[in-house]
């Protein structure tokens, strides 16, 4: 449609700079949006990775084919301030956050200068606006102010989690946060719109600390507060899912573009226009996909298999792995379990032994693989349920395919998402803060075969339908995406 009507095609004088947060779960929706804008509007796109991500991302893409398809798209890189071999995840994650906070503004300014200078030679205009991840807001806003460029803040989390983050100062004043381990089931009644839903244990994991000046908590508060200075908010969600909370957020942002589920929108717009083309963001960004699990799924009965995946960041201890293994096997349901090489918290040499042991034990009961094409797996007719860590992308992908969830959240927004899944949308069960084989077994049985499944499936089917409608032509997310293109173009 975008190609045919020409209305959205002629604006190569518009140049959007993307500043993603360098983590797969944040990069994926950002890259989808960048591809979509490049495809649908012909805008120039500069997509800024950290050098570390750049080295890992680009080898997984057929870059020549990509640039042929998107001639106005450029991947660029800046330093994240850490040496190449410095670990960036697990207990080192905060080192990445603080290093990024220190170096991104000067690095981005340098890059904006060169983007403005290069324009003649590269035949592109100076940057029109920056679309920055919500947790890169401080640096993005400070740099953009120096250049007089507007910033659109793209919070890649749910509207619910975004809203709870805007309430953190309020929660501290009310004495609800921090609460490290205290009165975890206490209802938190001072977040407008979520008064009867959220308990302490359902708040963003940065709240699970002793002191209000804990660095990760302060980091989230300051980045969230800087988001207020952005011209508009972009969210990977859809109106029909989070309407009441979106209306709360509109008290802060007069302009909100809800354009999710982005993978659905992207499939509708980019892939439908040219099914032969595999988008970069559709493929795995960091790991090689094991595709033989699709053949295995093909041989399984309809809706019989539980998909188990804890995303790209969290890791489990050996004991937790074993509890899950026992719970899954005792439930007697076949499972497809993603265990990334780095998802067991132990020494490297032990990790291989643990993995081999689990793989051997799984034989005949399920399949363990290191990474899958998850969007495709969730769409497979053999999948009947999803045991997930409740990362926002996984949650949206599951809703889109109508797959009910068991949520086992660990960090960040996952605590909020899992509560919404179980108690707001009622499309799954929340297993947070417990990892016992008997509970896992019961939850799996409930999700896969009981009358509870029937109840959950009724709402799940409704939301799946709404999600699909929202990204079709005329749907809410589709229209908001068109509006985003129009509004960005009007900045030139």
Reading the block at residue 98, the tokens are: 């603080």
Question: What is the DSSP code (8-state) at residue 277?
Answer: P
Contact 231, 207 (CB under 8 A): no
Pattern 236-275, ligand UDX, x by CB under 6 A: ----------------------------------------
What is the rounded CA–CA span in Å between residue 15 and residue 127? 5
24 belongs to the binding site for ligand UDX (CB under 6 A):
yes
Q: Does 413 bind ligand UDX (CB under 6 A)?
A: yes
- Near ligand UDX by CB under 6 A: residue from 258, 281, 374, 415: 374
- Interface positions, 280-299, toward ligand UDX (CB under 6 A): 284
User: Residue 115 or residue 435: which is nearer to ligand UDX going by CB?
Assistant: 435
**Per the residue annotation, which of 26, 39, 74, 380 is the catalytic one?**
26
For ligand UDX, how many residues bind (rule: CB under 6 A)? 24
Cα–Cα dist 476/478, whole Å: 6
What CA–CA distance (Å, rounded) separates 2 from 349? Answer: 52
Q: Minimum CB separation from ligand UDX for residue 25, in Å?
A: 2
CB of 413 to ligand UDX, least distance (A): 5
Written in H, E and C, the secondary structure of 102-170 is HHHHHHHHHHHHHHHHCHHHHCCCCCCEEEEEHHHHHHHHHHHHHHCCCEEEEECCCHHHHHHHHCHHH
Q: Is the CB of 47 or the CB of 157 nearer to ligand UDX?
A: 157
Q: Is residue 414 a contact residue for ligand UDX (CB under 6 A)?
A: yes
**Residue nearer to ligand UDX on the CB measure, 43 or 310:** 310
Residue closer to ligand UDX (CB basis): 8 or 393 = 393
Question: For 58, which DSSP code?
Answer: G
Measure the CA–CA gap between 37 and 82, rounded to whole angstroms.
Answer: 31
Q: Is 313 in the site for ligand UDX (CB under 6 A)?
A: yes
Considering only 135, 168, 188, 412, the residue that binds ligand UDX (CB under 6 A) is 412
The residue range among 99-107, 319-327, 407-415, 439-447 that interacts with ligand UDX, by the rule CB under 6 A, is: 407-415
Q: Interface mask (CB under 6 A) for ligand UDX, residues 27-66, using x and -?
A: -x--------------------------------------
309 binds ligand UDX, rule: CB under 6 A = yes
Sheet holding 335-338, edge to edge: 366-369, 335-338, 305-309, 383-388, 405-407, 428-430
Per the annotation, the verdict on 214 as an active-site residue is: no
The answer to the question of residue 127 lying near ligand UDX (CB under 6 A) is no
Which one of 47, 75, 157, 163 is in contact with ligand UDX (CB under 6 A)?
A: 157
If binding is defined by CB under 6 A, does position 306 make contact with ligand UDX? no
Q: What is the dihedral of CA 289, 293, 294, 299, to 10 degrees?
A: 180
Give the separation between CA 37 and CA 16, rounded to whole angstroms.
9
How many secondary structure helices (H) and strands (E) does the chain include? Answer: 22, 13
The span of 51-59, 133-141, 294-302, 371-379 binding ligand UDX (CB under 6 A) equals 371-379
Q: Which is nearer to ligand UDX, 61 or 313 (CB)?
A: 313
Per CB under 6 A, 23 contacts ligand UDX: yes
Residue 341: CB minimum distance to ligand UDX, A: 12
Inter-residue contact 130 to 385 (CB < 8 Å): no
Q: Which of 15, 44, 80, 133 is catalytic?
A: 133
Smallest distance from ligand UDX to CB 28, Å:
5
Q: Is 338 in the site for ligand UDX (CB under 6 A)?
A: yes
Evaluate whether 163 touches 194 at the Cβ level (below 8 Å): yes
Residue number, 77 or 394, with CB nearest to ligand UDX:
394
Q: How many C-beta atoms lie closer than 10 Å to residue 380's C-beta? A: 19
- Cα-based distances in Å from 253 to 162, 228, 413: 12, 7, 20
Residue 39 is among the residues annotated as catalytic for this protein? no
What are the DSSP calls for 347-391, one per residue? -HHHHHHHHHHHHHHHTTTEEEES---HHHHHTSTTEEEEEE---
Contact 345, 92 (CB under 8 A): no
The answer to whether residue 392 forms part of the interface with ligand UDX (CB under 6 A) is yes
Nearer to ligand UDX, 72 or 414 (CB): 414
Restricting to residues 170-209, which ones interact with ligand UDX according to CB under 6 A? none
Least CB distance from residue 392 to ligand UDX, whole Å? 3
E strand intervals along 236-330: 256-258, 305-309
Supply φ then ψ for residue 132, to 5 degrees: -115, 145
Query: What token pair was written down for 369?
Result: 């693989």
Residues belonging to the active site: 26, 133
In the complex, the residues that contact ligand UDX under the rule CB under 6 A are 23-26, 28, 157, 284, 309, 311-313, 338, 371-372, 374-375, 391-394, 397, 412-414
């Amino acid at each position: 449609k975008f190609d045919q009507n020409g209305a959205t095609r002629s604006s190569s004088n518009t140049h959007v700079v993307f500043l993603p947060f360098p983590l797969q779960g944040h990069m994926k929706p950002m890259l989808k949006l960048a591809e979509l804008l490049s495809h649908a509007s012909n805008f120039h796109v500069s997509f800024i990775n950290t050098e570390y991500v750049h080295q890992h991302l680009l080898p997984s893409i057929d870059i020549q084919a990509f640039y042929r398809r998107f001639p106005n798209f450029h991947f660029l890189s800046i330093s994240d301030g850490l040496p190449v071999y410095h670990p960036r995840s697990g207990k080192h994650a905060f080192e990445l956050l603080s290093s990024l906070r220190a170096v991104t503004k000067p690095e981005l300014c340098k890059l904006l200068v060169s983007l403005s200078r290069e324009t003649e030679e590269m035949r592109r205009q100076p940057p029109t606006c920056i679309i920055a991840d919500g947790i890169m807001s401080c640096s993005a806003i400070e740099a953009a102010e120096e250049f007089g460029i507007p910033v659109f803040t793209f919070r890649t989390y749910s509207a619910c989690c975004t809203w709870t983050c805007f309430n953190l100062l309020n929660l501290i004043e009310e004495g609800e946060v921090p609460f490290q381990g205290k009165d975890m089931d206490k209802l938190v009644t001072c977040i407008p719109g979520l008064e009867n839903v959220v308990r302490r244990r359902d708040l963003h994991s940065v709240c699970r600390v002793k002191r209000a000046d804990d660095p990760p908590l302060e980091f989230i508060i300051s980045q969230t507060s800087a988001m207020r200075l952005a011209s508009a908010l972009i969210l990977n969600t859809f109106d029909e899912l989070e309407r009441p909370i979106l209306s709360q957020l509109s008290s802060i942002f007069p302009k909100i573009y809800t354009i999710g589920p982005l993978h659905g929108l992207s499939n509708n717009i980019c892939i439908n226009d040219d099914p032969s083309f595999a988008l970069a963001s559709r493929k795995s960004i960091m790991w090689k996909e094991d595709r033989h699990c699709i053949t295995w799924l093909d041989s399984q009965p309809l809706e019989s298999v539980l998909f188990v995946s804890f995303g790209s960041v969290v890791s489990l201890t050996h004991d937790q792995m074993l509890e899950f293994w026992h719970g899954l096997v005792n439930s007697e349901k076949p499972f497809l379990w993603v265990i990334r090489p780095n998802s067991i918290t132990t020494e490297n040499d032990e990790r291989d032994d643990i993995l081999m042991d689990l793989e051997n034990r799984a034989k005949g009961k399920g399949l363990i693989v290191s990474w899958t094409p998850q969007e495709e797996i969730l769409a497979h007719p053999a999948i009947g349920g999803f045991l997930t860590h409740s990362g926002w992308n996984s949650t949206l992908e599951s809703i889109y395919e109508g797959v009910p969830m068991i949520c086992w959240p660990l960090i960040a927004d996952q605590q909020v998402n899992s509560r919404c899944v179980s108690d707001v949308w009622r499309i799954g069960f929340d297993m947070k803060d417990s990892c016992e084989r008997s509970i896992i077994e019961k939850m799996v049985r409930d999700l896969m075969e009981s009358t509870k499944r029937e109840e959950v499936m009724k709402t799940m089917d409704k939301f799946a339908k709404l999600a699909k409608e929202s990204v079709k032509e005329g749907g809410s997310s589709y229209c908001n995406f068109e509006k985003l293109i129009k509004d960005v173009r009007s900045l030139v």
